[in-house]
Chains A and B, each alone.
Chain A
């Protein structure tokens, strides 16, 4: 089976720590935190006023000249995906239509794109002027909206917000004509997308797949939703960098952010033929349902997490003791972190006491559909450099979590890494990476 399992040959990331995956890794190693007071809009009226925002970038720099018109149709989620995809193909040493039309080295029909996307929120700034034209006696008038208000929206308005559009734009830019899917499983989306891309390559439907996810969560509507559901940390508005504390006793909720992460997956044979550098091999992927009548939270015993990890271990044909690193979902929402820790322990047993655990959201924030891919990228970098960065904001581990999280950087050879993710709604994923070198 391992012969058939695809390898990762390209990485791309845009995160609050920078505009490349190298910035991401450097930031994590340096203990940088990308969380700060929100500047995208005035957050004063919100219970949580902090988030992870990506540094400034110009989308035009990532789109070939002939396609720049299409950037007008890109919501921020789409832009983030386009940036990360560009880096991933370049890092893989693959030439696509966008990179150099005269020397294309991918076979478009044999290239797939499987992307995790969130519910792209309509831009309220764009809707507001149209709503303002639809008021009768001080109240919103749906009839007037239908008759007049909607005329103030650009005709292609809807196309900015369909969740398959990040994959479609990336597909058009790089000419990806093979299987294409957009996985909409919130915070588990990108690891489920990576798992599906793996299946697509193993079954022979494509030779190369771009997989990952992206989401722009720093907007008023999403922040409101997270605040209303009491998932957002509200007690760290004056100390943003301390705000996201996965598995920590002082955790008060998650901090949300924006990012995209892309991986190029490739048949091992394909990668060897073109002497591509290999970041890691995907040794196993598992998925499951967590079930909880409180749909916004993980089930208290973490059973779904346990099942997903067990499936991934089974596919990778390894024992828990062989894992050198775990990158958990770790949101900073205490009851979810406790449940996740139970699920991890349920799957790995006492082996878990010795395996280093490195949560990333304290530095990157919770970037929704991007998060799982960002963690897999982080795992690839850890494997390559043999480094586990120091965890941040986990100085006082919650006694119910009992994970081996260290505030000190560790140098060690890393052979196998486990990444896991779950979401409100219960879809759960686990991925195991193997050091190929």
Chain B
């Protein structure tokens, strides 16, 4: 049943830069072939850290996507990924980029942006170097005069400006000439699902017709790995990086840090039809909730997760029985995978064991702020091809986790409606539902 009281919102473009490849087709080929490209970290010297590996984006060349990289030269690593992913998505949706005279039929004041994007990596050498120079060992405290003298000498204005997480949205606005409402959010690992959900609502509210929505993040930097290692959230399976991300497995020991950007073009059905662009899928539901429990742990009974999934189902006017596939948050941490399973059992009741759920993080790693958007793209492709993406590395099932996790290899199945779940540190829960487009 199609809800005619609300503006229908469809996906007309997708783009991705991720560890499995720097375009949608290569990424999907990687998933269908159960690839995992995790390896020893090369972005910085991680050899001293408890976790020495990560899932990096490789061979990324921004000039393959845009004509004027000069305008974006100061953008940080994830910002450049955002530009590449957005350029791909715009091309597919026939949105003109890098021009002051677009001919694509979209009023720029009705073109918005909503990203879940992360911070930049600090200027490591100079950042740590200045602290070292400012430290007064005798007094055991910082000497701010010494620090300032070092920092003013070493650090670069443009690099420091790009630190803030709103900058990918700034660069993509420049790229596409977007003049409509623009927001960035950073709700930890749930950010880009939230961004897509709120972008969907922004369109339904009538504020804009088209939104470039998604996420971009790289926490493969020393402070990121420091933070996650101290939290013991990362896998330390240094002898076998490619099997380290093993969601729902009995031997899971933490998540694998990935990086990348994933973007979708959301558009009113009316606009898509008027412009004559291909419709890839329809967004039909969104739910957001807050655990309000602890900053460190998920609610034991999955209160917030259940509330967000049920809110999304209600928004979509669907029952849990209508769902063909769930793309889980599935991080490969002990806590997430257990509590997410509890949530799914509560929502899906008697259908829980018959509803296939999987974690593409077993192949992509965890793209943090960009994870939800990347996973939404895999949901759209699952619908397109009627294939369930697998949870690889699930050779040792956890006896207490007994859902159908689509283990080890992809599976043919009719997929019309899929749920994408993202849960972030601090109890952020965001869920988006996507459906095969029918007129």
Contact = CB atoms under 8 A, between A and B. Distances in A.
Interface of A: 41-47, 70, 73, 108-109, 113, 117-119, 122, 124-125, 127-129, 131-132, 134-135, 139-140, 142-148, 150, 153-159, 161-165, 167-169, 171-172, 174-186, 192, 195-196, 199-200, 202-203, 205, 220, 224-225, 227-230, 286-289, 291, 293, 295-296, 303-304, 307, 311, 423-428
Nearest to A140: B128
Interface string B140-180: 11101111110110011100111111110111011001111
Contact of B178 (A122, A172, A177, A289): A289
Residue from the set B47, B146, B177, B185 with the largest chain A CB neighbour count within 10 Å = B185
Contact of B180 (A41, A161, A192, A289): A289
15 contacts: A45-B145, A122-B223, A146-B45, A146-B225, A146-B229, A162-B188, A185-B166, A185-B182, A196-B183, A202-B205, A289-B178, A291-B174, A295-B74, A304-B179, A425-B170
Contact of A288 (B119, B180, B428): B180
A156 B231 contact: yes
B184 A147 contact: no
Contacts of B140: 129
Contacts of A177: 289-292, 303-304, 307
Contacts of A109: 289, 307
Given A144-B48, A150-B230, A186-B164, A44 B144 contact: yes
Interface in B379-436: 424-428
Contacts of B426: 159, 162, 164-165, 167-168
Contacts of A183: 183-185
A199 B205 contact: yes
Main secondary structure of the interface of A (DSSP, over half): mixed
Interface string B224-246: 01111111100000000000000
A180 B48 CA distance: 37
Contacts of A127: 131
A227 B152 contact: yes
A140 B151 CA distance: 14
A135 B174 CA distance: 42
A45 B230 contact: no
A205 B197 CA distance: 13
Given A108-B292, A142-B48, A164-B188, A426 B131 contact: no
B201 interface: yes
Nearest to A308: B181
A43 B179 contact: no
B134 interface: yes
Interface string B116-136: 010100001100110110110
A320 to B, nearest CB: 18
A228 B160 contact: yes
